[in-house]
Chain A
């Protein structure tokens, strides 16, 4: 029996807050700095390590400076009604820190919701590949914090950015939220 995709997407959209730097929970183990860690599964959604898609430590630091974080999951085919085979879900958030001088949503993200698309969180969102395998099909889950992100950005000064292929309003989450789909390497 398959469940509706909306439930999974809702769970994964919140799961990003529990992983990576500044996570909202700690597991008491070696993964503490990363919350629940950046490996493993949520149900049948398997985490795609950011390293395997080319996100290295320097870029992670850039994310942190901007108060941005993202995590990807690959969902088993047929398990969730409405999700195509081999769908990759990317859940992203601002930081868990609303205020502060560095890395905070107030400083780096909230202006984006007001249309300032050059904000650091907007620039950091560009999930780029270097030597990692391509996403076959992917979908960004809207974050719960700051507003919608812009269509394309190149993030960081050092590497070539790859623009996202598609940007559309998500009918599930309504007007004003952001959903992105990036298709295979040819996108």
Chain B
């Protein structure tokens, strides 16, 4: 009972949450193609009312993201994905907010009404698969030059972020990549056998890529 009371007190700290809708639009020779995902971000004070008795390392503000990557169907069985890594901090990079970030800035973000353009250099990683059935065929996509990957006529038109009341999307990416959950149980990275030391990695984001960059819900 005492522990339950302590945990309840800890849960009384500041917390701010919102749902963000990310939309990616790509120009293709057959016209624009759009994909979107709704993700939930939660920012919270870890110690809550128990900060005076909480170890220093356990204090502070944490963030959690729930949701999935954005998948854009480019036609002909080709897709581009915008991953979830970095998405929980995207509002901080894109929107203006008052200091301090927590709780004032986070509250301002949660109240944001509208849609903001996400500069391509601040967007999460874009990837594709040259063979949609082969996780090891994952390739980085340069947001400034989709033509390098997909050919002439392909261009990233926009990435937008909005705060929404829509439900968190689930299953869209898994519908496109049905092996997503099983491959994460089978091996730790899409591309097998990464180098042992991180200094030996030539492209860490790709070489260490795995299912958890596509959805937070696979192994809950």
Contact = CB atoms under 8 A, between A and B. Distances in A.
Interface of A: 14, 17, 22, 24, 26, 28-33, 38-41, 46-58, 60-62, 74, 93, 95-101, 104-107, 130-133, 144-145, 158
B111 interface: no
B46 to A, nearest CB: 5
B184 A132 contact: no
Contacts, number: 145
The residue among B57, B62, B187, B189 with the most chain A CB atoms within 10 A of its own CB is B57
A17 B62 CA distance: 12
A24 B208 contact: no
Interface of B: 3, 6-7, 9-11, 46-48, 50, 54-55, 57-58, 60, 62-63, 65, 85-86, 88-89, 124-125, 184-189, 192-199, 201, 204-205, 208, 210-212, 218-220
B112 to A, nearest CB: 19
Contact of B219 (A30, A41, A61): A61
A97 B62 contact: yes
Given A49-B198, A96-B57, A132-B196, A55 B62 contact: no
Contacts of B89: 26, 28, 32-33
A24 B54 CA distance: 14
B198 A46 contact: yes
Contact of A54 (B48, B65, B188): B188
Q: Which 7 residue pairs of A and B lie closest in terms of their CB atoms, listed nearest first?
A: A99-B10, A57-B212, A39-B198, A56-B188, A98-B58, A61-B219, A51-B188
A14 B192 CA distance: 30
Contacts of A144: 55, 57
Contact of A98 (B46, B65, B192, B193): B46
B86 A30 contact: yes
Contacts of B86: 29-33
Nearest to A135: B196
